[in-house]
Amino acid sequence: MRKINIKPIITLFLVSGLLISCGKEQENKQVAKMPPATFPVTKLQPKTITGFTEYPTNIEGIINSDVRAKTSGYIKKVFVDEGQKVRKGQVLFELETQSLSQDAGAAKARINVAQVEVDKLIPLVEKNIISDVQLQTAKANLAQAKANYSSVSANIGYATIRSSVDGYVGAINFREGALISPNDATPLTTVSNISKVYAFFSLNETQYLDFLQNAEGKNLKEKLANYDAVNLILANGSMYSEKGKIETSSGQINQTTGTVSFRAVFNNPNQLLTNGNSGRIQIPIVYESAIVVPQEATYEQQGKIMIFKLEENNKVTSSIIKIKANIDNLYVVESGLESNAKIVTTGVGKLKSGMEITPKEIPFEEVTKPITTLFKN
């Protein structure tokens, strides 16, 4: 049997193992020499920032005058149309007056009869032929006849229904031929002055207390007078061009709804707004010298907002922060960060607490500038 010389094979394995060992050692040295990963960091600075809170609102004209009949009758003619601009005193409706005219004629005849009776009795009383009592009774009947005639004449005047204010005609609820009366629950129409409009909104108790604490002034009246202008977001999501002013507040919590009602006023030069519009009121809140961080510098863990702070040894530590407000792409921090702390601004999903990084300084103004919206839905 032929013998195999294994010495060369053993020598080959030893040399290969030595080479592999040297290669791994060299690779480990190269890995050890690689610097930590680079992450952008910034040093926080106090920043004054304005945020907005939004509340649903309903819009009404500053004057809304219900047009109602003062006498019963059938509508003979409607002189205006919905949306039409009218002046104070302009005729809107006319009622049928034929029966009223007949009543007026009869009342006028009764006046004449009563007047004749009075005229007949006066000389008889003067000659003491009859007592004065009969004359006084006749005079009373004359006064009653005149009162009846005045009432019928007034009803004839009420048959012409006029606008009591300048404004725009709303929905016309009754047309020609409809029988109407002063007791109707629904008005004939509503004339609204919408040169300015009221925006009504409500705050709950907590929001109301925050409002009072953020406003300057000794009392509610001063706080409302000193409060900044408010914005109106229309139903289509666009910003109304005119700024508004909060004028009044009930100052009392409604026990049924748990809210306090407010009223803001807006100029309406183009009559864009009218009765029944809806929207959202934006109330500004100014945070003076606040600690703000970009939202992308944070992450959520178990329902808490976290952020990575950079320590002196270039290692990062995670901290829980409490958020006071969310404004655009920024968080206003209530607690959990020092005003001069350094934070990692992006890439936080790749970090772990205690990890060493190579920091790249980014100006604070750059990381806190608002994001421009390029497209809107």
Q: How far apart are the first and last CA of the chain?
A: 89
> pLDDT grade, residue 1 (50/70/90)?
very low
Task: Output the six-digit token pair for 9.
Answer: 């094979």
Sort residue 271 into left (φ over 0), alpha (ψ -120 to 50) or beta: left
Helix (H) or strand (E) run with residue 59 in it: strand 47-67
Q: Of 41 and 133, which is predicted with more confidence?
A: 41
State the number of CA atoms in the 13 A half-sphere of 134 facing the CB: 14
**Residue 376 has what pLDDT?**
46
Q: Over the stretch 323-341, which tens digit does the pLDDT of each residue have?
A: 988 998 999 999 999 999 9
pLDDT > 70 fraction of the chain, expressed in percent and rounded = 86
**Residue 252 has what pLDDT?**
92
Q: What is the residue type of 234?
A: L
State the number of CA atoms in the 13 A half-sphere of 319 facing the CB: 19
Backbone angles phi, psi at 341, to 5 degrees: -70, 155
Name, in order, each residue with C-beta under 8 angstroms of 100's C-beta and a sequence gap of 6 or more.
Answer: 71, 73, 152, 155, 156, 159
Is residue 165 a contact partner of residue 191, using CB atoms and an 8 Å limit?
yes
pLDDT at 26 over 70: no
**Residue 263 has what pLDDT?**
97
DSSP 16-31: HHHHHHHHHHHHHHHH
Helix %, strand %, coil % of the chain (to 5): 30, 35, 35
Helix orientation angle between 98-126 and 132-158, rounded to the nearest 10 degrees? 160
Q: Closest Cα partner for 57 from 262, 225, 349?
A: 262
Backbone angles phi, psi at 49, to 5 degrees: -140, 145
Architecture of domain 97-158: Orthogonal Bundle (1.10)
| Residue ranges per structural domain of the chain | 38-49+288-367, 53-62+190-287, 69-91+163-186, 97-158
> pLDDT grade, residue 156 (50/70/90)?
confident
Find the mean pLDDT for residues 261-279: 94
Name, in order, each residue with C-beta under 8 angstroms of 298's C-beta and a sequence gap of 6 or more.
Answer: 305, 306, 307, 321, 331, 348
CA distances from 370 to 46, 177, 305, 342 (A): 16, 62, 21, 20
Q: Which CATH class is domain 38-49+288-367?
A: mainly beta
Which residues lie across from 94 on neighbouring strands? 77, 160
pLDDT at 195 over 80: yes
Q: Of 59 and 120, which is predicted with more confidence?
A: 59
Rounded Cα distance, 66 and 178, in Å? 18
Question: How many residues are there in the chain?
Answer: 377
Whose structure tokens read 């953020």?
Answer: 214
Which letter, b or e, does each residue of 52-68 get, where b requires 16 or more Cβ atoms within 10 Å of its Cβ?
A: beebebebbbebbbebb
Q: What is the pTM of this model?
A: 0.65
**Residue 144 has what pLDDT?**
85
Of 3.50.50.60, 2.40.30.130, 2.40.30.170, 1.10.3720.10, the CATH number of 53-62+190-287 is 2.40.30.170
pLDDT at 20 over 60: no
71-80, 108-117, 197-206, 287-296: segment of lowest average pLDDT: 108-117
CB atoms within 10 A of CB 47: 17
pLDDT > 90 fraction of the chain, expressed in percent and rounded = 59
**Residue 132 has what pLDDT?**
81
pLDDT at 7 over 90: no
